[in-house]
Amino acid sequence: MYKKVISWYRDWREQRFLRKHGCRNREEYNLKYDSLHNPIATRLVDFYHGYKYIYCFENHKHQIYYWDLAYVGSYNVTKWCKKNLSGKWRFDVHRAIKYPSTGNEWEINELGGGDYIFAAFTDERDYMLFTLRWS
């Protein structure tokens, strides 16, 4: 009985904490409050300031993207990443633009940009594995 009450209290406290921060689960909380990204940046290099390697899924092959970030084509990318990668990584959808006027760097542009999926990695090995598999 005592262990059930303690377990219930810990679960209640965790759910209260997550509700206070506007998150449904701990994974969403860790993604939202990641210390390695800056959500108010205008350049992708500044947005992912703690991630060394950034990969962009450019839609030059007219692939189908599902916007829940789990699937590219019919493949489950996030499940593959959880299984095969050891470092820290994340996926985000940005409306971005890359032109000579921006120094050929990706910039977040809500008005004139296109929608792209970006993957960021802290480990070079993970980045190489990802690009070999998904590019």
Q: What is the pLDDT of residues 59-107, one digit of tens each?
A: 655 455 555 555 565 567 888 888 999 999 988 888 888 888 777 888 8
Highest mean pLDDT among 14-23, 35-44, 65-74: 14-23
Which of 123, 58, 67, 125 lies closest to 92, judged by CA? 67
Q: What is the pLDDT of residue 62?
A: 47
- Going from N- to C-terminal start, the domains of the chain cover 1-33, 36-134
Q: String of b and e for 120-130 (b: at least 16 CB within 10 Å)?
A: bbbbeebbebb
| Paired residues of 7 in beta bridges | none
Q: What is the pLDDT of residue 59?
A: 64
Above 50 in pLDDT, residue 27?
Answer: yes
pLDDT category of residue 109 using cuts at 50, 70 and 90: confident
What average pLDDT does this structure show over 106-126? 87
pTM exceeds cut of 0.85:
no
| Paired residues of 76 in beta bridges | 71
